[in-house]
Structure 1
Amino acid sequence: MKKKLTVPLIDQTDRWPTGCESVSAVMVLKYLGIDISVDRFIQDFLPKRPMYLTKSAALVGDVCIGTGPDPDEYFAGDPYSEAAFGCYPGVIVKACNAVFKSFGAPLRAVDVTGAGAEVYRRSIDNGMPVIYWATLCFEPAVYGPKWQIAGTGRTLTWHSREHCLVLTGYDDENNLFFFNDPWDHHGEIAVSQALCEKRHLEQGGRAVLIEQIKKFV
């Protein structure tokens, strides 16, 4: 089977160097007919907190670089900065649901981390793209650096090369997934399903789906 959705393209590179999650979310929101800019999404809806670094953010492995937020609660840093890190589905779910509430849209975002490719295919079949975590250019994930999550005493290991894209379709005959990739003017890309799933799992199998809210009278 094969299906591909036409989702508006936005490139993050020049203005939002670490804003792949927000840019991907806004591509999906625009596909759904919600007229919102990336800047407004980041400034008005995205939960974010700063990083307090004690060492270079380029260091990886067991080095603890300072303190920062839980990336499933807040974006770590500033999406306008190259020195920021990113966020996980919990943040994008909160931001998207706040957008839906503000715009009166009968939709909700759902964290479907670990759901797997069959769930994503069903979403595409139903006309809904998927906000999908993988790695930059589908290169191997790099584990580290670490930071202490402020106020908790816990230490988090960041999976570097983290990247967020929009899964727009699939071609099972040719073993491809289709994406809108916001990074470096890549635009619409096709990637082998095996490589996608490998990098997706390296980033924890993280994904967000959008669902219609059914109202019963």
Structure 2
Amino acid sequence: MKRQKNNTVRIAFAVVLAFWLIFIIVIIGVVKSLVGVSFAENYISDNGRQILIKNVPYVSQEHILPTGCESACAVMVLQYYGFDISLVDFSENYLDKQEVYYADDGKLHGPSPYEAFAGSPDDLQSYGCYAPVIAKAVNKAVNDTDYNCLITSGESLEQLVDEYVSENIPVLVWVTINMCEPNVGDSWYMQNGEMFVWQAGEHCMVLIGSDDNGYFLLDPYKTNGIVYYDKSLTQTRYAQMSSQSVVLLEN
């Protein structure tokens, strides 16, 4: 009889313990949902220590903004932080754009991509823009909130992972389409009379993780989704695009 009582106690204890474990798991899930961002996953994989932000919304530029990779990446990050904004809304209402055109002198004229998007992101024949333009557009989109978009150009990809990605902060980085070698593209005269030479293949992605061998990025091009590239290759392409990056931070 005593042994039977002991077994009953053990079973009751196991049931109570299981209940509390399930309760704790549910609470953690609710907290994650309320916060609106995930905890950066940080664990050991076959490729060593891995960091990965798993719930950044994916936005494709395909069929909407064929040259709007920068805008698509900005919208991914804005949506990650809970801003209700679409790709078209961002491009039409916040992004500074200037035409690239042939003037009466027969020469091609256009803006500095550090000051405005060269062309229009809904035009397949247009070009793109660089970090300061996107930072300015994002800051207009988050005006009167506790968020601020900072230019972090010049920091290495490893620094960006350590400082931001490991803290659940995705980073916009300028690289190339499919990490291919960039080519010399069109050139045009800017308003100051200087000539600008576009690097064909310029592309923007969102850095969301890394392991010992490579980086995880969200690629808006052709609905590529999450992509993984070798560290050395990604670092080279990033450097070829002048190591440009921006982050959105909560003050």
What TM-score, normalized by structure 1, do the two folds share?
0.88
Flag the structure with larger Rg: 2
Q: Residue 206 of structure 1 aligns with which residue? A: 244
Give 2:167's aligned residue. 126
Following the alignment from structure 2 to structure 1, what is the Cα–Cα distance between the partners of residues 157 and 204? Answer: 16
Q: Retained in 2: the 8 A contact 1:65–1:145?
A: no
Residue type at the aligned position of 1:52: Y
Q: What's the secondary structure of 1:184's corresponding residue?
A: helix
Give the deviation of 1:65 after TM superposition: 6.0
The structural deviation recorded for 1:44 is 0.6
Write the letter of the residue equivalent to 2:247. L
Deviations 1:10-69 (A, max 9, x none): 111211100000000000000011110011101110011111047xxxxxxxxx960001
Alpha-carbon distance in 2 for matches of 1:143, 1:212: 38
Q: How does 1:30-179 map to 2 (within 5 A)?
A: 30-53=79-102, 66-101=108-143, 104-121=144-161, 122-149=163-190, 151-172=191-212, 175-179=213-217
Match of 1:7 in 2: 56
Give the alignment partner of residue 26 of structure 1, picking from 60, 66, 75.
75
**1:187, CA displacement in angstroms?**
0.8
Residue 84 of structure 1 aligns to a residue in which SS? Answer: coil
CA distance in structure 1 between the aligned counterparts of 2:231 and 2:110, rounded to whole angstroms = 34
CA RMSD of aligned residues (A): 1.4
Secondary structure at 1:91 match in 2: helix
Structure with the bigger RCO (C-alpha within 8 Å, sep 6+) is 1
CA contact (8 A) 1:65 1:146 kept: no
In 1, distance between residues paired with 2:156 and 2:134? 19
Q: Hey, what's the Cα distance between the residues in 1 that align with 2:166 and 2:150?
A: 17
Distance change (3 Å), C-alpha of 1:65 and 1:14 = farther
Alpha-carbon contact 1:180-1:187 (below 8 Å) kept: yes
- Kindly, what percent of the aligned residue pairs are identical? 33
Structure 1 CA distance, aligned partners of 2:52 and 2:249? 18
Whose helix fraction is larger, Structure 1's or Structure 2's?
A: 2
Amino acid at match of 1:146: S
In the alignment, the residues of structure 1 paired with residue 175 and residue 121 of structure 2 have an alpha-carbon distance, to the nearest angstrom, of 18
Cα distance in 2 between the residues matched to 1:12 and 1:70? 23
Instruction: Work out whether residues 75 and 87 of structure 1, in 8 Å CA contact, stay in contact via their aligned partners in 2.
Output: yes
Q: Please state whether the residue corresponding to 2:142 is helix, strand or coil.
A: helix
Deviations 1:151-192 (A, max 9, x none): 2111111111000011111112xx110011000121111111
Answer yes or no: is the 8 Å Cα contact 1:108–1:211 preserved in 2: yes
Question: Which 5+ residue runs of structure 2 have no aligned equivalent?
Answer: 1-48
Give the AA of the match of 1:31.
Y
**For residue 232 of structure 2, what is the amino acid of its counterpart?**
A
> CA–CA distance in 1 between the matches of 2:225 and 2:238?
19
Residue identity in the other structure for 1:100? V
Greater alpha carbon shift after TM alignment, 139-148 vs 43-52: 139-148
The alignment partner of 2:210 has SS state of: strand
Superposed displacement of residue 120, structure 1: 1.0
> What corresponds to 2:22 in structure 1?
none
Q: Kindly tell me: are residues 165 and 53 of structure 1, through their superposed partners in 2, closer, same or farther at Cα, counting changes over 3 Å?
A: farther
- The amino acid of 1:21's aligned partner reads E
